[in-house]
């Protein structure tokens, strides 16, 4: 048995902040309190540091074939970068190939992750073709395969998009087993029409990506998905919500006592659409869907977190190197959509969120750790510091300053979306299931240490 102790740290959960020591036996937290670390074989002194639960990124795309190429981080490089930033579990998206079964898609993603992933990982199942056959697969996926969330795309016409009738069918089926439907909410037809208009007019630069997907494209689809869920009395999780007008659709839903769960991503809180105007195709770095919005939208999102309208902050990590982005050099609609971010979410949320008094320290833990765990069936094994929980622990120095750069990050991407940003606060040491994962700037885990997280329905 391995016995580890962490002393003198300030423990931060979604609800409390307190000085206490932690005793870890093998992979679990055995005790929390004063003087509980006697008998430990190794003591980590966390004087002056915060102790967070390992963070959970519920929206990543590792090794995703997309728009004629593949996201540049696989399960090894992506989860290593995640660990360096204090994220110990991810929930990635396993895609169904249209015309093939959901189980085949899941199998492919298991093969991508097994033997490589350093962090623990679960999968959302992306349903790109809902029909009588795929409908029959849902029960088995929920009850035997540990898949309790099903993602739909209302955008990416002629690729991933499903229609409303399919979404209603999926919601009805998923509800039978207590699982959850999540949605990428953009009106795919409207976006497609604007893309064609811009292309025909010869507007081909990256900024026309954003102009083809204005807030109303997102707000309309958000409202429609919410209405479909309301009529069927379904839970709904909206991924990567970006703007005030979409958030207002959630507000409207609250007024009629509907519960809608909302995720935003750190880039929508911190980066704005002026980046698309950068010369020499640089704007392509931030081409993602939905696109970055205005500073007013950022303000609305921070308020949305405080108001409890937004429950989770993820990354939608979907990196492409600059050469890959150049697929759209002469046509913005061919730029692979997505950006790197898995590594810096916690540090950015601390530096830009907590230190700038936009959110409390406990809210950081709530949106990055506890809520994703609760919503996606991992709590209290993950997402909190409690006796019996997995010893997924982040030791965080709130004072150390550092500068984010592609030169020093661990993501397999040749640019950073936050190049040159100086942040205060740094992840110093990370434990995953009681094993030291990150220490002294090194990753100490063997490839494939990460375990598949078979999840249980929560609704
Ligand atoms: O631009 C993005 N977000 N790329 C990843 C796929 C998605 O829509 O989530
Ligand atoms: Zn999306
Ligand atoms: Zn995504």
Structure token digits, residue 232: 């069927």
Query: What ligand 1 atom has the least distance to the C-alpha of 93?
Result: 9
Tell how far the Cα of 337 is from the centroid of ligand 1, in angstroms: 6
Residue 371 CA from chain centroid, whole number: 12
Which ranges of the chain have pLDDT less than 50?
Answer: none
318 lines ligand 1 (CB under 6 A): yes
pLDDT digits (tens, 9 = 90+) for 194-246: 999 999 999 999 999 999 999 999 999 999 999 999 999 999 999 999 999 99
What gap in Å lies between CA 202 and CA 294, rounded to an integer? 25
Structure token digits, residue 229: 């869920």
What gap in Å lies between CA 242 and CA 300, rounded to an integer? 9
Q: Which residues sit with Cβ closer than 5 angstroms to ligand 2, an ion?
A: 184
Angle between helices 132-143 and 164-175 (to 10 degrees): 30
Q: Give the model's pLDDT for residue 53.
A: 99
Tell how far the Cα of 219 is from the centroid of ligand 2, in angstroms: 14
Q: Are 6 and 46 in contact (CB under 8 A)?
A: yes
- What are the angstrom distances between the C-alpha of 136 and each of 102, 130, 140, 170, 198? 10, 10, 8, 10, 41
pTM for the predicted model, two decimal places: 0.98
Q: What is the CA radius of gyration of the chain?
A: 21
What gap in Å lies between CA 144 and CA 152, rounded to an integer? 21
Q: What is the 3-state secondary structure (H, E, C) of 43-104?
A: EEECCCCEEEECEEEEEECCCCEECCEECCCCHHHHHHHHHHCCEEEEEEEEECCCCCCHHH
Query: What ligand 1 atom has the least distance to the C-alpha of 155?
Result: 8
- Residues 6 or more apart from 317 whose CB is under 8 A from it? 57, 59, 60, 61, 62, 73, 78, 338, 339, 340, 341, 342, 411
287 lines ligand 1 (CB under 6 A): no
Tell how far the Cα of 33 is from the centroid of ligand 1, in angstroms: 42
Tell how far the Cα of 172 is from the centroid of ligand 3, in angstroms: 23
Q: Are 21 and 8 in contact (CB under 8 A)?
A: yes
The beta-strand segments (E) located in 269-354 are: 312-314
337 lines ligand 1 (CB under 6 A): yes
What gap in Å lies between CA 207 and CA 190, rounded to an integer? 17
285 lines ligand 1 (CB under 6 A): no
* Residues linked to residue 308 through DSSP beta bridges, in sequence order: none
What gap in Å lies between CA 180 and CA 174, rounded to an integer? 7
Locus of tokens 């097994």 = 114
Q: Give the model's pLDDT for residue 396.
A: 99
Q: Give the model's pLDDT for residue 99.
A: 93
Q: Give the model's pLDDT for residue 458.
A: 84
What gap in Å lies between CA 399 and CA 428, rounded to an integer? 11
Q: Give the model's pLDDT for residue 71.
A: 98
| Protein residue closest via CA to atom 4 of ligand 1 | 338
What gap in Å lies between CA 56 and CA 379, rounded to an integer? 11
Q: Are 277 and 300 in contact (CB under 8 A)?
A: no
């Amino acid at each position: 048995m391995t016995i580890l102790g962490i002393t003198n740290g300030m423990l931060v959960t979604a609800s409390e902040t307190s000085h206490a020591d932690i005793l870890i036996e093998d992979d679990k937290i055995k005790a929390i309190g004063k003087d509980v670390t006697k008998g430990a074989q190794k003591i980590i002194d966390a004087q002056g540091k915060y102790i967070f639960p390992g963070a959970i990124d519920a929206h990543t795309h590792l090794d995703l074939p997309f728009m004629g190429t593949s996201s540049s981080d696989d399960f090894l490089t992506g989860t290593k970068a995640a660990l360096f930033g204090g994220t110990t579990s991810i929930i990635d998206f396993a895609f169904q190939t249209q015309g093939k079964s959901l189980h085949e898609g899941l199998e492919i993603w298991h093969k991508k992750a097994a033997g490589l992933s350093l962090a623990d990982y679960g999968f959302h199942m992306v349903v790109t073709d809902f029909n009588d056959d795929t409908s029959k697969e849902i029960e088995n996926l929920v009850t035997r395969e540990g898949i309790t969330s099903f993602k739909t795309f209302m955008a990416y016409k002629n690729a991933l998009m499903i229609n409303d009738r399919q979404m209603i069918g999926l919601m009805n089926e998923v509800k039978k087993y207590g699982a959850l439907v999540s949605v990428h909410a953009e009106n795919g037809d409207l976006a497609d029409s604007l893309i064609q208009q811009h292309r025909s007019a010869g507007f081909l630069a990256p900024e026309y990506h954003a102009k083809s997907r204005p807030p109303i494209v997102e707000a309309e689809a958000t409202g429609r998905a919410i209405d479909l869920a309301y009529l069927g009395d379904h839970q709904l999780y909206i991924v990567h919500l970006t703007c005030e007008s979409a958030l207002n659709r959630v507000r409207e839903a609250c007024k009629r006592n509907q519960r809608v769960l909302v995720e935003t991503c750190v880039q929508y809180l911190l980066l704005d659409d002026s980046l698309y105007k950068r010369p020499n195709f640089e704007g392509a770095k931030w081409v993602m869907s939905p696109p970055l919005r205005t500073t007013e939208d950022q303000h609305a999102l921070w308020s949305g977190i405080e108001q409890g309208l937004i429950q989770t902050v993820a990354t939608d990590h979907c990196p492409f190197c600059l050469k890959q982005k150049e697929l759209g050099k002469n046509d913005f609609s061919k730029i692979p959509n997505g950006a790197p971010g898995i590594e810096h979410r916690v540090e950015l949320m601390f530096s830009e969120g907590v230190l700038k008094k936009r959110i409390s320290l406990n809210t950081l833990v709530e949106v990055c750790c506890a809520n994703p765990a609760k919503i996606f069936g991992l709590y209290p094994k993950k997402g909190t510091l409690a006796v019996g929980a997995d010893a997924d622990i982040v030791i965080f120095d709130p004072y150390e300053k550092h500068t984010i750069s592609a030169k020093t990050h661990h993501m397999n991407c040749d640019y950073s979306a936050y190049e040159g940003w100086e942040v205060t606060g740094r992840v110093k040491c990370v434990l995953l299931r009681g094993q030291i994962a990150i220490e002294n700037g090194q990753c100490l885990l063997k490839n494939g240490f990460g375990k598949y997280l078979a999840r249980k329905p929560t609704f």
